[in-house]
A and B are shown apart, each in its own frame.
Chain A
């Protein structure tokens, strides 16, 4: 007997925010990278390295905050490999990004082996005073752990920076027309390098959120395609920061909903429910692509040669 009424909307929304946060972090980082004109398909690899490094340091220091910081550093460091290959050695961005994912998966499996089956210290929920006491909404929105709010804060900062600051303008200019930006005297390679590192750090944070909060333990390959979903969400969001939030929460919502549906015993085979978030992502991407590539940075994926 189905028990749809057993799905509690308050819990659903509360848990979708948690389930969406890793994707949101990775997607907002990748948005910045792509806005600068670089396509880094290594998001999955950087996430899982962030997950394992964050887990290891959090377990050893018994401090999840340090885990997040080192995860961000690890993601950024891994991304410098990609940045060096792509920007200085002019390697193909797609191939290099795929390679980065494979490297990340391999390294994480190696590093994580001794840590399997251990439980990590996790972040406490903040229970923001007053706000979290509001009935229903308080529990839904204001009693999460700090990283949920940090991720939203990053989205806001990225939006503000891209839209209102000179740094953001230059970054967009570089992604739009790198030859023109170079002719005006902007350091295309330099700017892209920093953007890629920012993307790496965000992916690392996203990965650590999976291993430290969502499932506070280490399992090989535990990001399970979240990086690819993040890449899809960047396109879904038309490279706009707030829309990545919508995209990530939508995807997170479907994931949580299908879990709830499974628990409620809906008469749909589990396999179909499990694949539904991915199917819906593909469907949305197809619909968006059919409309044309709106908002894609014009230099996206094109290698830059400073010919003079």
Chain B
């Protein structure tokens, strides 16, 4: 008989209108790294929430070490030996590292002992951490360490990790993998959720693939190609974006030493950002979240205004112009946050269209909205970008993440921008939709527009951009052609190294 740690048997969970999980079964062996694969909305989160006691299954059962396992709360799950590192860190910014860790433990030791334990464990696993620091001041990688150490202090038998690498630099990923392999060698099982197929191939022993809430396949990642896994997730094959050889035109946009302070409390100020963008060029800007991406987008979109000469667009100094003026001359942008920033959730797609496209698509007649024209343009976006929606009157908030992202990007791209800036174009979007959005961005550049793509997905940037740079603490690294770039260099650039220190490429 095989040794089984966690046996999941026919778990089903339905919400009004959706079956999140339908009869899902699989096993995790002790010391195994088990990947859970699937697109957004495939039911991965619901499944792990059931294992962690946050959600009760409608039917089905689990056994943990051959014992019935039906945790009523996360505390019960932790008591049995299940720990979880969340996708969006479940940390408290204003509290210290030690306080954060104490909150995740059921019987936290005295503060002094806890501090000692934290130092011990963090050294043992190569994850240095200072227990008395305020979490709000930590980097993304350090924050993740807090979560991992919080779990490790309870000696879990099963560690669940939900998208752990999405916010890390390549070097930080290496450190994490070393820790995970050490845990595995000590007999801890890991349930690993990720979109990044190459990581799964490097780390995981087995993979279970979910689609529309059902288990559709299993595979051994080491012997399966990333493309095969992606197609199992989507259930169909899809085309990779094709990068054509493009002619570059004249410089259309120049940033000259753009500096701006951040509006948010934990934000990053921009410090002397300079770059040139040519017509028909795609510039990729990588970097770990929270290093000034949002602030850069705000400065480019006109939400934050800067000194006039800091931004030269098509020969005009436009630093002082607001978003509407910039849109009018063909300088468009799409921010990262889809709901609430790029689109108003409670308003219909048609109304959301008018918000940014009114000027360039002349949807206004004597100051009144021309709903017929707005409807027509919305229809165009829906058709061209394959937005799955019942109609133009559907509230933006009811669309799935991927569909809304296609709408948000489509709304701007179809306005024929001269320069288009987009932040995280495919964040949380499934593989097929991501590929189609990337293709649209390439097409846009083919037609002569300059495109700036800000993203944390390095593979995406390498795939579509002509030149690449990283943003770190509000500063831009040297801009280098993508064709000459290697992962190591990118890591250094994201770590804040400048041209002087690297020297090798300029």
Contacts and interface: CB of A to CB of B under 8 A. Distances in A.
Q: Do these two chains interact?
A: yes
Interface stretch (A128-136, A146-154, A177-185): A177-185
A248 B501 CA distance: 56
A170 B75 CA distance: 14
Given A166-B102, A183-B90, A184-B104, A176 B73 contact: no
Interface in A178-196: 179-181, 183-186
B94 interface: yes
B265 interface: yes
Bin chain B's interface residue count.
20 to 34
A295 B92 CA distance: 13
Contacts of A183: 54, 74, 86, 90
A308 B95 contact: no
Nearest to A177: B92
A176 B93 contact: yes
B49 interface: yes
B472 to A, nearest CB: 24
A298 B95 CA distance: 11
B49 A308 contact: yes
A269 interface: no
Contacts of A172: 92, 94-95
A177 B89 CA distance: 11
Q: Which of B49, B89, B90, B103 has the most CB of A within 10 A?
A: B103
B92 A173 contact: yes
B95 A173 contact: yes
Given A177-B92, A180-B92, A185 B86 contact: no
Nearest to A170: B103
Contacts of A114: none
B103 A184 contact: yes
Contact of A308 (B55, B90, B108): B55
**DSSP majority for the B interface?**
loop
B167 to A, nearest CB: 16
Nearest to A164: B111
A292 interface: yes
A169 interface: yes
A172 B74 CA distance: 19
A272 to B, nearest CB: 37
B93 A184 contact: no
Nearest to A292: B265
A308 B54 contact: yes
B103 A177 contact: no
A183 B75 CA distance: 10
Bin chain A's interface residue count.
20 to 34
B375 interface: no
Nearest to A176: B92
A92 to B, nearest CB: 16
Given A184-B74, A292-B265, A308-B55, A177 B99 contact: no
A293 interface: yes
Interface string B75-95: 100100000001001111111
B91 A185 contact: no
B53 interface: yes
Nearest to B150: A184
A179 B87 CA distance: 13
A185 B95 CA distance: 18
Given A184-B74, A308-B49, A308-B54, A173 B103 contact: yes
Interface of A: 166, 169-170, 172-173, 176-177, 179-181, 183-186, 292-293, 295, 297-298, 308
Interface of B: 49, 53-55, 73-75, 78, 86, 89-95, 99, 102-104, 108, 265
17 contacts: A166-B108, A169-B103, A170-B103, A173-B95, A176-B92, A176-B95, A177-B92, A180-B89, A183-B54, A183-B86, A183-B90, A184-B90, A184-B103, A185-B75, A293-B265, A298-B93, A308-B49
